[in-house]
């Protein structure tokens, strides 16, 4: 009930801000997701900070559950890039549109136009959050990154790229065990409603976000090289967090 009430208050405000301002919807979206996190009992711990707004930023993160949207949205000043099917989901699609999500089909016929649209928004100052795994994992590993998803990093906007690892490491105040992660994660053909209701019955959950060193434009030669570096950094950081270790400082050449 509280979640629905909060959404009914926040969504009209966001709808108005989207019409009158470019930056206001960004900070209000963060406030909105922080409120959602508090209602859900989702605690968020950050190791590192989002890249300074010297230029457009492209945040690259691993993906295991719908809760990633809440955790990342509460911390990062960016809009999400999501598959086009989500646009048609009841209520979820509406919320995503208000959050200025960019929907892509990733099909060859529409790829050029989608990249052009994303690039134009970045050139205008928008930041984006991208999941290069292309799907959700079971939370016990980071899936291989698709280099094709990183085309945006080499567009005319020349964004700074920041790696982000997301790991759920505390459940009801206790360390998350390997067997807990598939229950926290939303993957495969799991229906959303039963999964969400099961998590809502728990007292609390903590997400730890590791924000790595930003990678300046031109540091790496192409999207395949960038994909390898990001997969290694994010996979390594996520693995350390799952073992209750502090990730090493990121390194790349």
Query: How does DSSP classify residue 44?
Result: E
User: Would you state the structure tokens that stand for residue 227, as one six-digit string?
Assistant: 């994909």
Q: Which token pair is 104?
A: 């892509």
Which residue, among 218, 220, 112, has the nearest Cα to 158 in the 3D structure?
A: 218
First to last CA, the chain: 50
Give 192's contacts (C-beta < 8 A, 6+ positions apart).
66, 186
Beta-ladder partners of 160: 57
pLDDT in tens, 198-235: 888 888 999 999 999 999 999 999 999 999 999 999 99
Does residue 125 come out as left (phi exceeding 0), alpha (psi in the -120 to 50 range) or beta? left
157-187 residue pLDDT tens: 899 999 999 999 999 999 999 888 888 998 8
- Asked whether the predicted pLDDT for residue 106 surpasses 90, the reply is no
- List, in order, residues 6 or more apart from 177 with CB less than 8 Å away: none
pTM: 0.92
> If DSSP codes are grouped into helix, strand and coil, which group holds residue 106?
coil
- The DSSP bridge partners found for residue 211 are 164
Residue 127 has pLDDT above 70, yes or no: yes
Domain ranges of the chain: 41-242
Which residues, other chains included, contact 142 with Cβ-Cβ below 8 Å and sequence gap of 6+? 62, 133, 165, 231, 234, 235, 238, 239
Residue 89: the pLDDT is 72
Mean pLDDT of the chain: 88
Closest CA to 61 of 45, 43, 73, 44: 73
Give 44's contacts (C-beta < 8 A, 6+ positions apart). Answer: 34, 37, 71, 74, 75, 206, 207, 209
- Biggest alpha carbon–alpha carbon distance for the chain: 50
Q: Is the predicted pLDDT of residue 252 greater than 60, yes or no?
A: no
Kindly tell me if the per-residue pLDDT of 251 is higher than 50. no
User: So what's the pLDDT on residue 54?
Assistant: 66
Mind listing the pLDDT tens digit for each residue in 18-45? 888 878 888 899 999 999 999 999 999 9
**50 with 57: CB under 8 angstroms?**
yes
CA distance 208 to 135: 20
């Amino acid at each position: 009930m509280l979640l629905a009430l909060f959404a009914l208050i926040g969504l009209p405000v966001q709808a108005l801000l989207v019409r009158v301002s470019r930056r206001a919807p960004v900070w209000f979206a963060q406030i909105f997701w922080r409120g959602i996190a508090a209602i859900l009992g989702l605690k968020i711990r950050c190791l590192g900070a989002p890249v300074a707004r010297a230029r457009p930023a492209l945040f690259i993160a691993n993906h295991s559950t719908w809760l990633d949207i809440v955790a990342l949205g509460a911390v990062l000043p960016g809009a999400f890039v999501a598959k086009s099917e989500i646009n048609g989901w009841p209520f979820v699609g509406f919320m995503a549109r208000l959050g200025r999500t960019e929907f892509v089909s990733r099909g060859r016929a529409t790829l050029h136009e989608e990249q052009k649209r994303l690039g134009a928004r970045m050139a205008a100052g928008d930041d984006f959050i991208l999941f290069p795994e292309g799907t959700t994992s079971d939370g016990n590993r980071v899936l291989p990154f698709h280099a094709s998803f990183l085309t945006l990093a080499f567009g005319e906007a020349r964004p700074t790229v920041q790696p982000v690892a997301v790991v759920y490491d505390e459940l009801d105040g206790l360390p998350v065990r390997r067997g807990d992660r598939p229950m926290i994660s939303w993957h495969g053909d799991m229906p959303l409603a039963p999964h969400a209701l099961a998590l809502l019955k728990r007292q609390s959950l903590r997400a730890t976000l590791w924000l790595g060193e930003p990678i300046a434009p031109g540091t790496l030669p192409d999207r395949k090289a960038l994909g390898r570096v990001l997969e290694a950094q994010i996979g390594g950081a996520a693995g350390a967090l799952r073992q209750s270790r502090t990730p090493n400082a990121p390194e790349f050449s």
